[in-house]
Amino acid sequence: MTDEKKVLFSGMQPSGYVTLGNYLGALNNWTTLQYDYNSIFCIVDMHALTVRQDPAKLRKAARDVLMQYLAVGLDPEKNIIYFQSHVPQHAELSWILNCYTYMGELNRMTQFKEKSQKHADNINAGLFTYPVLMAADILLYQTELVPVGEDQIQHLEITRDIATRFNGIYGDVFTMPEAYIGKTGARVMALQDPTKKMSKSDENANNTIAILDDPKQIINKFKRAVTDSGNEIIYSDDKPGIKNLLSIYCAVTGKTIKEAEKEFENSGYGDFKIAVGEAVVAKIEPIQKKFEEYQKNKDYIDEIIKTGAEKAERIAEKTMRKVRRKIGYPDKIR
């Protein structure tokens, strides 16, 4: 990592297969930004525990997410790519920051409200303090820029509030991070219910497109996507299904909404949906091929996992030494 560039941090939970939403709202932006920043890309397996996981599936999903990071084009030589659970400083800072975060602040988090409704049988304390762990992830690396989808903006705001509070007491310990929202694909919606966002943990597979889905399956899911009773292909809040499909089409082709509306002005919904499916397949097929190659290269992936954790821990420990001293932990005798 070079010193002149700013630090960028982002992460993704291995809570299922990476979706088109995760790709367009996050990964795709990361591949562009990686050359302009000292970038740190984490697989946030500790966050995934806030929802009950099958251990074998979680272990596999974490490795698969890492290989998908590589397959979309994140460069492991240039960036730090690692598993959150391999760097214990995340848990340590998270506990400390818990003591500088108010219940009232956490109570306002929309993701907590949504997830506790979805997992009513498992509303655990980790789900509640999820944003504090996220704050620790970001602040550990003195991050300046955090590329996120719109759904995560609230968590970035609370991170800034926690950092401001901590710095206010102890001096400038943490760098103040800012959100980066990409222009397109900021919020990809579920195909069967375009009023809610596409999520990798959605139980209805027809709602989501995984970037590793079989191309035929992808086209079929788009064919079945919910639209509305009209027949015009225009970008309007009254037509959430068509709006979502147009946004996806533009995000994968690089066309503007106006160009897309013009292109489909004489098409029916059926043909339009197939065209969106085909454009998505064209974009993600090369990613799938690369993923297959990485699957065959165990030693190479193991090496990335090892060196990623070592590099991340070095930076995280530097911040932690400062934090421990500031808050008054006794010095360790060596």
- Under a CB-based contact definition with an 8 Å cutoff, are residues 8 and 39 in contact? yes
Question: Could you count the other beta carbons within 10 Å of the beta carbon of residue 117?
Answer: 9
**Is 239 labeled as catalytic in the residue annotation?**
no
Which range, of 125-133, 198-206, 248-256, 303-311, touches ligand AQP by CB under 6 A? 198-206
Please report whether residue 245 would count as binding ligand AQP according to CB under 6 A: no
Stretch of 85-93, 157-165, 185-193, 321-329 contacting ligand AQP, by CB under 6 A: 185-193
Site map (CB under 6 A) of ligand AQP, residues 35-54, x = contact:
---------x----------
Q: Is 118 in the site for ligand AQP (CB under 6 A)?
A: no
Annotated active-site residue 200? The verdict is yes
Task: Give the residue carrying structure tokens 């530097």.
Answer: 318
Radius of gyration of the chain (CA): 21
C-alpha 96: how far from chain center: 24
- The catalytic position among 5, 115, 298, 311 is 115
To ligand AQP, the closest distance from the beta carbon of 46 in angstroms equals: 11
Question: The tokens of 120 are what?
Answer: 């009513």
Q: Measured from the CB atom, is 128 or 170 closer to ligand AQP?
A: 128
- Is residue 198 part of the contact set for ligand AQP (CB under 6 A)? yes
Q: How far is CA 279 from the centre of its chain?
A: 22
Asked whether 154 and 188 are in contact (CB, 8 A), the reply is no
Q: Are 134 and 151 contacting, i.e. CB atoms less than 8 angstroms apart? A: no
**Which residues lie closer than 8 Å to 269 by C-beta, 6 or more apart?**
227, 231, 233, 242
Whether residue 135 contacts residue 163, with contact meaning beta carbons closer than 8 Å, is answered with: yes
Place of tokens 């911040």: 319
Give yes or no for residue 149 binding ligand AQP (CB under 6 A): yes
From the candidates 197, 221, 239, 273, give the one annotated as an active-site residue.
197
**115 has catalytic annotation:** yes
The answer to whether 200 contacts ligand AQP (rule: CB under 6 A) is: yes
**What φ, ψ does residue 209 adopt, rounded to 5°?**
-110, 120
What distance in Å separates the CA atoms of residue 226 and residue 223, rounded to the nearest whole number?
9
Q: Among residue numbers 3 through 42, which ones bind ligand AQP (CB under 6 A)? A: 11-13, 15, 19, 21-22, 25-26
Chosen residue from 28, 39, 68, 199 binding ligand AQP by CB under 6 A: 199
The correct pick among 92, 105, 151, 193 for binding ligand AQP (CB under 6 A) is 151
Shortest separation between residue 11's beta carbon and ligand AQP, angstroms? 6
184 binds ligand AQP (CB under 6 A): no
Task: Determine, following the binding rule CB under 6 A, whether residue 194 of this chain makes contact with ligand AQP.
Answer: no
Tell me how far apart the alpha carbons of residues 258 and 250 are, in angstroms, rounded to a whole number.
Answer: 10
Q: What tokens appear for 307 in the block?
A: 């060196």
Nearer to ligand AQP, 68 or 199 (CB): 199
- For the annotated catalytic residues, the residue numbers are 115, 197, 200
Q: What is the binding site for ligand AQP (CB under 6 A)?
A: 11-13, 15, 19, 21-22, 25-26, 44, 148-149, 151-152, 185-188, 197-201
